[in-house]
Chain A
Amino acid sequence: GAGVSQSPSNKVTEKGKDVELRCDPISGHTALYWYRQSLGQGLEFLIYFQGNSAPDKSGLPSDRFSAERTGGSVSTLTIQRTQQEDSAVYLCASSPHSGRAGELFFGEGSRLTVL
């Protein structure tokens, strides 16, 4: 595809349910990031994948959050036992830069609402 694709674009769930958010990065991009953007807030770092290296999970807010990246491409962010404070837009980004910081290409985001 031409850009980073995220699904679903909108997700409404009940408190306590599990959710999965999917990210398809730009083909050939080795780096993949997840950020969280709460209403009117900044971009909160969650996790960073770089090639075959172990991911940097230092931004995950609790053990209810996990992410994987299969085959160096598609990534899934899973939130277990969702809470109302998990409501936010979850942004995925990819980058072609290997091992060094460079331009991030963001997806449109997945808006999660926990009732």
Chain B
Amino acid sequence: GENVEQHPSTLSVQEGDSAVIKCTYSDSASNYFPWYKQELGKRPQLIIDIRSNVGEKKDQRIAVTLNKTAKHFSLHITETQPEDSAVYFCAAGGNQGGKLIFGQGTELSVKP
């Protein structure tokens, strides 16, 4: 089955800097790669996703890149703000209907 590895587990940046979180997946048949943000004590919420027919997707300060050959994808946050502080999860799936396997999470801390 699918296995998703996520790095780093913790990331601390200064406000205004960029943050990058990386994930690798094992099942080459996976075709859907979402990213979720979970603020402290709250439910995870989708922030951006990408399907395997594109290599990059942007939404304001957030971008995701996908390298299907290498089986890895990354989340890029530019001009970070304190409100970006949260745990971020990547996921992979789509080859078995809607089943999604999540990475272990990255705790991002943005220092003012």
Contacts and interface: CB of A to CB of B under 8 A. Distances in A.
A33 B102 CA distance: 12
- Which of B45, B94, B102, B103 is the most central at the interface, judged by chain A CB atoms within 10 Å of its CB? B102
Interface residues of B, number: 26
A2 interface: no
Q: A-side binding surface: helix, strand, loop or mixed? A: loop
B25 interface: no
Given A102-B98, A108-B42, 13 more contacts: A42-B89, A42-B102, A42-B104, A43-B91, A45-B99, A45-B101, A48-B98, A50-B98, A97-B98, A103-B46, A103-B49, A104-B44, A104-B46
Interface in B14-34: 31-32, 34
B99 A104 contact: no
A105 to B, nearest CB: 8
Size band of the interface chain A makes with B: 20 to 34
Interface of A: 31, 33, 35, 41-45, 48, 50, 53, 56, 58, 91, 95, 97, 99-104, 106-109
B43 A107 contact: yes
A101 B43 contact: no
Given A42-B89, A42-B103, A42-B105, A106 B98 contact: no
- Which of A44, A101, A103, A106 is the most central at the interface, judged by chain B CB atoms within 10 Å of its CB? A101
Contacts of A97: 98
Given A42-B103, A95-B98, A101-B94, A58 B45 contact: no
Nearest to A51: B97
